[in-house]
Structure 1
Amino acid sequence: MSNTIAATASVTVTPGRRLGVAQEHEAGSGTYVRNGIIYSSILGTRVISDSSSNNESSAGPKATITVERSNTKFAIPAIGSEILGRVVRMNPRAASVAIMMVGTTPCQEDFQGVVRVQDIRATEKDLVQMIDSFRPGDIVRAEVISLGDQRSYYLATVKNEHGVVFAQSADGNSMVPVSWEEMQDPKTLAVEKRKCAKTF
């Protein structure tokens, strides 16, 4: 079954969510194209323009897919909150995360969070390697453990249900977890290290 969202659906999408194929649609604001697939680059609502009046032939203009930020209600992270965010950059000691949602409520802006290497797992903390836990672009579920400094909240993924919930392989395919520390590309069967969130 395709991961592409049904054309008639009006749903909230998160960064990295597959929206359609570039052969059939134009990529508008809030999206990006990779390997011929259109993905959401922001948290918001997917919108497809109506090109039926102009698309009278196969060579006519294609409908445009955009993602519009929601401006209805917003949340602010607090200690103990569960957040959903995107890893934007990393170093050996910490991963920077753009916080997009608190619980099920989107944030008005991308608050910044940091997952320090000692806050990734509950056990064997001295053996944890950042590169084996996250990669830039991963979508992670985490808990706010401290308000941190003026720039970033401190986040933790030590609980079983916290960690990477969505990741793309080096080939651009959506991966599936095969253990608590590995995800696999179902097309190439390549395995990559991650701190996976338990989803069941």
Structure 2
Amino acid sequence: MVTAPKKVVPGDQICKYDETCVLGSGLHVHQGVVYSTLLGFLRTEQKGEVKEISVERVNTDMTLTALPKSNDIVTCKVISVNPRQVKVLILSVQGKRLPQHFRGIIKKEDIRAKEKDSVIVYKCYRPGDLVLARVISIGDAASYFLSTAENELGVVFAQSSEGAVSMVPVSWCEMKCPQSNTREYRKVAKVIAR
């Protein structure tokens, strides 16, 4: 019996690994758990007591261009902030919109290039901010590790905490609400016009 294909991305947890699993292409085992290593469709076929699993690529061109790679510039949306890190959803890579969102993490020490010890995370990012970041590496469970430790990287769009008003940058570390003139801290990206 063959089940309907399910879309998977690198790092997706597929199932626990045991002797009844036969792994095909696009999968690997780490600490007893099967993970996807490709963007594609999961194929599962039950043959008696044995379950054959593989990931089938649909479009090789899409796979190579749609996934964030090390050193790529990505556009992200901040979904949560805690004292140690910022969790984001990666929306586009090198200006190309992704067919689906990937998770990313900006660690406290990767927010700024200087004065890393004095960084206060909630003064740099807030949920809802749009951020430009550089991919450092792929982390665990499809979370990419990102950095904004360059002048050109950081918040490019933020809304005022008082309402749905777009804020404007006033320095490298502050944005201002044009209606109330309230200032809020951010790690502002120095956007260069091209």
* Shared fold per TM-score greater than 0.5: yes
Unaligned runs of 5+ in 2: 1-61
1:78 and 2:69 correspond = yes
RMSD of equivalent CA atoms = 1.0
Aligned position for 1:145? 136
1:185 positional shift: 0.3
Q: 2:185 aligns with which of 193, 196, 200?
A: 193
Q: Classify the secondary structure of the residue corresponding to 2:90.
A: strand
Q: Which amino acid aligns with 1:99?
A: I
Q: Classify the secondary structure of the residue corresponding to 1:97.
A: strand
Aligned position for 1:135? 126
Aligned position for 1:123? 114
Q: How far apart are the structure 2 equivalents of 1:104 and 1:91?
A: 28
1:108 positional shift: 1.3
- Large movers: runs of 4+ above 6 Å: none
1:1-200 to structure 2, matched below 5 A, reads 75-171=66-162, 172-200=164-192
Q: How far apart are the structure 2 equivalents of 1:155 and 1:176?
A: 24
1:104 positional shift: 1.3
Aligned position for 1:60? none
1:170 positional shift: 1.1
Q: Which amino acid aligns with 1:182?
A: E
Unaligned runs of 5+ in 1: 1-72
1:150 positional shift: 2.0
Instruction: State which structure, 1 or 2, has the greater radius of gyration over its C-alpha atoms.
Output: 2
Q: Classify the secondary structure of the residue corresponding to 2:134.
A: strand
Count of matched residue pairs = 128
1:75 positional shift: 1.5
Q: Which amino acid aligns with 1:130?
A: V
TM-score for the superposition, normalised by structure 2: 0.64
TM-score for the superposition, normalised by structure 1: 0.62
Aligned position for 1:50? none
Q: Classify the secondary structure of the residue corresponding to 2:66.
A: coil
Q: Classify the secondary structure of the residue corresponding to 1:174.
A: coil
